[in-house]
Amino acid sequence: MRQHIKKRFHFAGVLLLGLVCGIIAYPQAVRFIPPLFQAIEKLKVNEGLDLQGGIHLEYKADMSQVPSEKVNDALAAAEAVIERRVNAFGVGEPLVQLSRSGTERRIIVELPGIKDIEQAKKMIKETPFLEFRELADPEAAKPFDEMNGQTKLQAQTILERATKGEDFSALAKEFTQDPSLKDTGGDLGFAKKGTYVPEFDAIVFDPNFKSGEVWPNLVESQYGWHIIKKIEERPASSLSQQGGPASASDGGDGDNREVHAANILFMKRSIDQYPDLMWVATGLTGKNLKSASVDYQSQGVGSPQVALQFDSEGTKLFAEITKRNLGKPVAILLDKEIISQPTVQNEIVGGQAVITGNFTMQEANNLVKRLNEGALPVPIILVSQQSVDASLGQSALKESLLAGLVGLGAVAVFMMLYYRLLGVVAVVALLLYSAMLLTIFKLSVFTPFAITVTLPGIAGFILSIGIAVDANVLIFERTREELSYGKNVFKSLAEGFRRAWPSIRDGHVSTLITTVILMAFGTGFVKGFAVILALGVLLSLFTAVVLVRVSVMFMAGEWMERHPKLLVSPKKLLE
Amino acid sequence: MLQIIQKRKYAYLFSGILTTASLVLLMSWGLKLGIDFKGGTLMEVQFSRDPVPQVSEVEKSFADLSLQSLTVQATDNRGMLLRYLASDENANDRVLKNLQSFDPSVVQLRTDFIGGSVSDQIKRNALTGIVLSVLCIALYIAWAFRRVSGAVTSWEYGLGAVIALAHDIIVVIGIFVLLGRYYNIEVGVPFIAALLTILGYSVNDTIVVYDRVRENLLRSQRKEDFEITVNRSLNETLGRSINTSLTVIITLFAITIFGGDSIRYFGLALLIGVIFGTYSSIYVASALLVTRYKMKTK
């Protein structure tokens, strides 16, 4: 009698477990109890980046410049800086973690749901490099004057050759420093007045300049020295364009003419074409920055300004710089580009400066954020990247869930057809197994061992459905065998469970051995697969052995002995 | 009763040819390695509208981006698959910008980049993983069958299982050499994961048969010839060997057919492995026990 109560008690436990896991796995089942439904619906499976879309980046930290006792501090600092930078993206739950691979130290960054991958990569790695520069000594421009003197001399000799009647276009091909006109022999085509720079324009439209001649002097413009040849000119009417070559006599007057000219350019060089030479370092850079902020007071007046506060060294440097450069411009460079070039009005001793670039509010905010974060303490090198677009993840999820349903359905049909009532029990256990696994996924989020379900993880889950019934197949086959020896049904069942156990145990252990090795193997794909397969194998051992046993023993009774063929298909004795 | 063990020389011949052919294929053609092992970048993009630019046009446009060993391949749904070795971290950005010149709203569906140091490490791990799995399984079987009676020792049971396992994965590798050669299917980390899973799973059937051999040896107390005992054990467990594999084969078929590109070939490798694993458990692993027994008792 006590045995009987124990059986019922166990079976009630199975039912309760099934109910709880069923509701957690499929909250829609309790839609009619809104408070419960809402509470349970909040539980979500932690989807991997390959399903929800996102990017997984792995960086190698270059520790070659860091003394070994400071390695951990430097890494922690780098992790903190990267964490602040990725938090600025505002994507859902970014992850930054340190890992080790042999002697290499790595930093892993995961950004779920990120849209602009390349932008994100830049923001993670790059530190804005802020720098103050002052005008170079006037001496620095001297080499340019010498160079320009020589260029002018050369231009003079070529001009002489051109005026003496040498082929103009051949000379142009050889000597012009305007690469766009090299191939055409300096030919500029027809143009109206006002097309060229004023100095040039004035000459080509000079009425004394006859077609077919070369202008006897060099013409100087902002670009350099020009040797000009007028080829032809004509009235600027559209009709005449169809006519033959026009001559000066039938040309219109003033603005109403078009001139076809050719030109050989000797370029003038000046120091302002070379910012690196024109502006020299002052030693004041972003490292002297104490803080940066957006200057809201200037809002509305123009574009927002970025206010800087230097540290004590920076303050001293800035005071010296402003004193030295009174009335002269200084340049503020961000990532090697001049963003502002203010003229110093008076010496600044307070260590404060503002940058008035053409910022939008957003840009100003970003710049301030990045300036305040500072530089990465160690250089990092990207060693691997996996990124998946959300749309691809969603379709992959759909496909793999379909595969799972088909697999589950087909296995269920096979088990019920082949093993009859015992098969039905196994299938119910299999459904319970799926619900329990989903429940574990959802609840694991609250533990330190949160399980992330990835695409290979789903593959592991589907595979585990096939493996989960293996234990039942072994037990049922053994039961059929015992029945064929003429034992009664109850005895056969008990024997089936008992004698199948060693094979079940050994088989599961061998699968677990390889999943543990796969987990140690470590790459994302493998880990996602192995964790879920291992979990599935362990859990299925529980459902297929314990739950099926409790349920079958609960059902066991007189009726089984009368209808053994209902319970399980009979097996012929071996001849 | 089926005379399986008695016909073992046919199984040996079949498996011998299969493994030799696979090894010859592996050594002559080799597997088509993916970026996991070679390093490099794989980018899948999708154009927003038809007509999709020609592969040759896209290839030409990349000429001045200095990408090494670039290949471009059109896929379904206006997609394109690009493989290249990147010279620096910003290469992806330049590739994408270049593609945007064809279609400004092209989508970067998926990008995998594996650096040289990572792919070297993956190679080492793959090899260590396989060797370690085989060793652990052999050790476990030797331990699990430590109380086995008769002329064949528990170590030889372990060795028999391992030879059958080696046979299974060599055949899978051979088939993937062919798939790589004729269908451009690359192998990467998922393939290694499949091989390790095959090792762990395929041995289950072998364990079931060995388990029965052990049980029958205890019962028969050597009144029966070893060959007959093994053959009887095989016949008694044939149903469950086939059925346990069948349920897994069903789910693997589902993965291979419905699972989508990223897990399809993973499923296929497992499927081939489990099918050959079932075959080798029945025809090879147990036969090896008998062969070993005959060697010892002669």
How many Cβ atoms from other residues are within 10 Å of residue A573's Cβ?
A: 9
Task: Return the structure tokens found at A215.
Answer: 């202008």
Asked if pLDDT for residue A242 goes beyond 70, the answer is no
Residues of B in contact with A101 (CB under 8 A): 121
Lowest mean pLDDT of A515-524, B164-173, B180-189, name the range: A515-524
Nearest-CB residue to B207 (from A387, A506, A512): A506
Identity of the amino acid at A231:
I
CA distance A56 to B40: 16
The architecture (CATH level 2) of B5-35+117-297 comes to: Up-down Bundle (1.20)
Share of chain A above pLDDT 90, in %: 16
CA-CA-CA-CA dihedral for B233, B239, B244, B246, to nearest 10: 140
DSSP code at position A543: I
Asked if pLDDT for residue A280 goes beyond 70, the answer is yes
> At the top level of CATH, which class does the domain A142-271 belong to?
alpha beta
What is residue B21's predicted lDDT score, i.e. its pLDDT? 97
CATH 2.60.200.20 for domain A2-46+389-567: no
Q: Which of A464-473, B114-123, B145-154, B222-231 has the highest mean pLDDT?
A: A464-473
Query: What is the fold of B40-114?
Result: Alpha-Beta Plaits (3.30.70)
Residues of A in contact with B98 (CB under 8 A): none
Q: What is the pLDDT of residues A167-226, one digit of tens each?
A: 888 888 888 888 777 777 788 888 888 788 888 888 888 888 888 888 888 888 888 888
CATH 3.30.70.3400 for domain A54-124+377-387: yes
CA distance B157 to B285: 9
Contact A406 B254 (CB under 8 A): yes
Please give the residue that has the higher pLDDT: either A488 or B177.
B177
Query: How much is the average pLDDT of B87-95?
Result: 78
Contact B93 A118 (CB under 8 A): yes
**Nearest CA distance, A58 vs chain B (angstrom):** 9
SS3 A299: strand
**Strand ranges (E), A161-311:** 187-192, 219-220, 224-235, 257-267, 279-285, 289-295, 305-310
What is residue A163's predicted lDDT score, i.e. its pLDDT? 84
Nearest-CB residue to A400 (from B93, B141, B259): B259
Does the N-terminal peptide bond of residue A67 adopt cis geometry, omega within 30 degrees of 0?
Answer: no
Contact B133 A533 (CB under 8 A): no
Collect all residues with Cβ–Cβ distance below 8 Å to A445 and sequence separation of at least 6: A43, A44, A46
**Nearest CA distance, B193 vs chain A (angstrom):** 6
Instruction: Mutate one of A51, A123, A473 to test the B interface: name it (highest B CB count within 10 A).
Output: A473
Confidence band for A240, pLDDT divided at 50, 70 and 90: very low
**Nearest CA distance, B173 vs chain A (angstrom):** 18
Asked if pLDDT for residue A526 goes beyond 90, the answer is no
Q: What is the pLDDT of residues A34-52, one digit of tens each?
A: 888 888 888 888 888 888 8
**Chain B residue with minimal CA distance to A116?**
B108
Nearest-CB residue to B122 (from A117, A396, A523): A523
Strand bridging mode A46-47 / A452-453: parallel
Average pLDDT, chain A: 83
**Nearest CA distance, A48 vs chain B (angstrom):** 14
Residues of A in contact with B44 (CB under 8 A): 392
Residue A340 contacts residue A332 (beta carbons within 8 Å): yes
Query: What is the fold of A274-370?
Result: Gyrase A; domain 2 (3.30.1360)
Cβ-count burial A320-338 (b if 16+ within 10 Å, e if not): ebbeebeeeebbbbbeeee
pTM of the model: 0.74
What is residue B119's predicted lDDT score, i.e. its pLDDT? 87
Query: How much is the average pLDDT of A277-298?
Result: 77
Cβ-count burial A417-452 (b if 16+ within 10 Å, e if not): ebbbbbbebbbbbbbbbbbbbbbbbbebeeeeeebb
Nearest-CB residue to A383 (from B36, B117, B136): B117
Instruction: Mutate one of A503, A516, A527, A574 to test the B interface: name it (highest B CB count within 10 A).
Output: A503
**Nearest CA distance, A371 vs chain B (angstrom):** 22
Q: What is the residue extent of each domain of chain B?
A: 5-35+117-297, 40-114
Q: What is the residue extent of each domain of chain A?
A: 2-46+389-567, 54-124+377-387, 142-271, 274-370
**Strand ranges (E), chain B:** 40-46, 68-75, 79-85, 107-114
**Nearest CA distance, A528 vs chain B (angstrom):** 11
Query: How much is the average pLDDT of B267-274?
Result: 95
Asked if pLDDT for residue B8 goes beyond 70, the answer is yes
Nearest-CB residue to B250 (from A466, A503, A520): A466
What is residue A266's predicted lDDT score, i.e. its pLDDT? 87
Collect all residues with Cβ–Cβ distance below 8 Å to B17 and sequence separation of at least 6: none
Query: How much is the average pLDDT of B17-22?
Result: 97
CA distance A132 to A339: 11
ipTM at complex level: 0.89
- Measured CA distances, A105 to A97, A98, A284 (Å): 11, 7, 33
Asked if pLDDT for residue A60 goes beyond 60, the answer is yes
What is residue B234's predicted lDDT score, i.e. its pLDDT? 93
Q: What is the pLDDT of residues A351-403, one digit of tens each?
A: 888 777 777 777 777 777 777 766 677 788 888 888 888 888 888 899 999 99
Q: How many CB pairs under 8 A join A and B?
A: 232
Using left for φ > 0, alpha for ψ between -120 and 50, and beta otherwise, residue B30 falls in left
